[in-house]
Structure 1
């Protein structure tokens, strides 16, 4: 999604992004400030100071040392939630979603008010294909941080795969209020409405965008609003004047959204074809690339695709 408000996933600050604990004095497991040592006494390393060393190790590219130091911090203060949060983020950076979820479980157990841990665990649950768990975590994030709701497009995508289409529609409508020039947001809104009320209704409720400069986004808008064709989407994406990397990215988005478009229109053969063509174009660490992978995984595992979109005028029972 093309949004300035996207949640940061900077790994260089992966254990500092939630809350203000790292900016405050080191805390003991009970949550009270550590007492300073007596004058002249040898300073004692705290979990927070060890995590600072771990961050420095990661910044210089020594992931093994970073993990070793995080483990040391957890051993030193096993009830300190930031240690588990740090290790979860390191697992996230390594693509180990299940391990990340397990450490976020511990971080949340020790600090159930940490909204960011819910968000980040929800992301990892989604990457694992656990759509219901992902939605629950995103909902809890919003319960703690209601102001974040309009920005949470990841929740909308999870809602689509959890077949909670009405709530997904509301999420994307809310997101448009803070990010009005994103064709992807409009496309996911279209998919949710099509599932619940049919493609004609989805087209009539298309959220118009006037300026999304990414190719082939405006061609995707034309397709879904009824004035364009799949061929035009692909032609735009295959522009020969683009660099190899840019063309790869354009083709990824073209095939991803054509695959999703054909799914809600009931053509599963073409949907599978285009999703399959999108996968070789996936950029490392790209969230939408992970969405394509999750889509492919869920459909191949037999998570039955949603029922064919309903014609206009008929609603879900």
Structure 2
């Protein structure tokens, strides 16, 4: 059994468990969030959004914490809603580079990377060195090579994040070949047990890169 089949089988079993949990606890917003995350990992993007929406309906105060929905919006090509979600997220998590970078990515798809850079929101104290360098890249203050140099001396997690966000940066600039190269390497060479690794895998699926 190859890796993709093994992962999908495991995720489908996890989905069955959350289907049962939602069935027995239909008023539990957390159950919908967790099921939505599994659906996203399976590249069921629109279905994941429906679950995140259901969680929000049950508990409106959860809205600033639905960063997962912002990611799903991006892959559903709902970029304005994605940008709005990340702006809301930053009101409770103002030091997370990823929130503002994903807002950048949504804005770039709507208005271009130059406008996205001009409206990049301020983040100063993300504890992750590689993400601080990613922020500099998206702000136009360093090169992709600088980001990759930061990632390389560290562990697999840093290597994954540097390659993922360099790839996304290239995609925002319509440099598809470079985007595919770096995101594919992030998935294939630097697998980690992290939601963002699954996101990179979903990226490949949505872009049909595995079929090329």
1:264-303 aligned within 5 A: 264-279=172-187, 280-283=189-192, 285-300=193-208
What are the within-5 Å matches in structure 2 for residues 72-91 of structure 1?
none
Shift of 1:149: 0.9
Q: 1:262 aligns with which of 155, 170, 174?
A: 170
Change (3 A) 1:208 1:95: farther
Alignment partner of 1:174 is 2:174:
no
Deviation of 1:215 (Å): 2.3
Q: Secondary structure at the match of 2:94?
A: coil
1:290: Cα distance to partner? Answer: 1.2
Q: Could you tell me how far 1:264 is from its partner in structure 2?
A: 1.6
Whole-Å separation in 2 of the counterparts to 1:302 and 1:281: 17
Per-residue deviation at 1:138?
0.5
Q: SS of the residue aligned with 1:177?
A: coil
Unaligned runs of 5+ in 2: 1-6
2:8–2:42 contact (8 Å) kept in structure 1: no
Q: Which of structure 1's runs of 4+ aligned residues deviate more than 4 A?
A: none
Shift of 1:252: 0.7
C-alpha displacement at 1:302, in angstroms? 8.2
TM-score, length-scaled by structure 1: 0.61
Residues matched between the structures, number? 204
SS in 2 for 1:96: helix
Alignment RMSD, CA only? 2.1
Distance 1:95 1:151, change over 3 A: farther
Inter-partner Cα distance in structure 1 for 2:18 and 2:209: 26
Moved more, 176-185 or 208-217: 208-217
User: Could you tell me how far apart the structure 1 residues matched to 2:204 and 2:50 are?
Assistant: 22
Query: How far does the alpha carbon of each residue in 1:51-77 deviate from its partner, in whole angstroms, 9 at most, with x for none?
Result: xxxxxxxxxxxxxxxxxxxxxxxxxxx
CA separation of 1:107 and 1:213: change in aligned 2, threshold 3 A: closer
